[in-house]
Structure 1
Amino acid sequence: MRQKSWASSSHARAVMKGNKSKNTIPEIRIRQVLHANGLRYRVNLRPLPNLRRTADIVFTRQRIAVFVDGCFWHGCPQHYVPSKTNRHYWDAKISRNIDRDRATSATLSNAGWTVLRFWSHEDPVDVTRKIITVVQSLSSCIEGGG
């Protein structure tokens, strides 16, 4: 017996399956600016091997995990608009995503990582400035031994 789809229609299912989970346009734009500023990083990496969470951008030496969260999928307080169809499913899904994001940030922080989270609607240049500031700060701590 075939299981009923979570999608409210075949069109909705096709649209949702087409959404990328990595290498999104906001991520790529941020990475381009970081690279142009001479920073090198890893992409789509698990900061902790035993934690089934992948950060969008990772600075392994400085132990910085950067997440670029999509407004719909992560419940952006500024842009999230609840689904008009299949509301029960989507409300629960987005709530689980928010809870998972909080747990991931806490787990990484407790393991000594700096977690930076940005919304996909934020200006890539502004986001990059913030990332560079943290990377430089932690790099000087590493180099200075403190």
Structure 2
Amino acid sequence: MADVHDVATRSRNMAAIRGANTKPELQVRRALHALGLRFRLHAKELPGKPDLVFPRHKAVVFVHGCFWHGHDCHLFKMPATRQEFWADKIGRNVANDNKAAAFLRVDGWRIGVVWECALKGRTKPDFGETMQALATWVRSTEPSITLRGK
């Protein structure tokens, strides 16, 4: 009986994980909007459903959680239990990220990635400077930007 309860609890907990409109994503959206940028959200027709789409600038931005996308920073720690499951899950997420980025590049999109550690944690840089760097990139013609903790 305990196994059934554990599975049900895990399923409920996983269902509570947001795929869109996360706190880091909302932070980035508010800041870029305040800096005068306008964007579309979660364009389903684009590979990887980018969090922010700037059609005028032919740029997309992904706001990645360090845990879910296997980032090599202090915010990522492989869980001690069910390690094979988590390694497979996170590995699939990373593979999907790479595949989506490749398709977007082929279609001429510029790609920005903001890692969660750029917004929180002990290594986060100044938020205002980080958002200014992102806004400057969106308005530029640079092919990519990756913002992460120090």
TM-score band by shorter chain is 0.7 to 0.9
Given the alignment of the two structures, is residue 30 of structure 1 paired with residue 33 of structure 2, yes or no? no
Any idea what the Cα deviations from partners look like across 1:90-129, whole Å, max 9, x if unmatched? 1111011111111111111121100001112213534422
| Residue aligning to 1:64 | 59
CA distance in 2, matches of 1:60, 1:52: 14
Task: Note if contact 1:30-1:125 (Cα within 8 Å) is conserved in structure 2.
Answer: no
Q: How far did residue 52 of structure 1 move?
A: 4.5
Q: Give 3-state SS (helix, strand or coil) of 2:114's partner.
A: strand
Q: Which of 54, 75, 90 is the aligned partner of 2:49?
A: 54
Percent of aligned positions that are identical? 33
Matches within 5 A, 1:62-101: 62-78=57-73, 79-101=75-97
| Residue aligning to 2:139 | 136
Instruction: Give the RMSD, CA atoms, in angstroms.
Output: 2.0
CA distance in 2, matches of 1:126, 1:95: 31
What is the total number of aligned residue pairs between the two structures?
130
Task: Note if contact 1:30-1:127 (Cα within 8 Å) is conserved in structure 2.
Answer: no
Given the alignment of the two structures, is residue 18 of structure 1 paired with residue 16 of structure 2, yes or no? yes
| Residue aligning to 1:142 | none
Q: List runs of 5+ in structure 1 lacking aligned partners.
A: 139-146
CA distance 1:33–1:109, change in 2 (3 Å): same
CA distance in 2, matches of 1:98, 1:53: 11
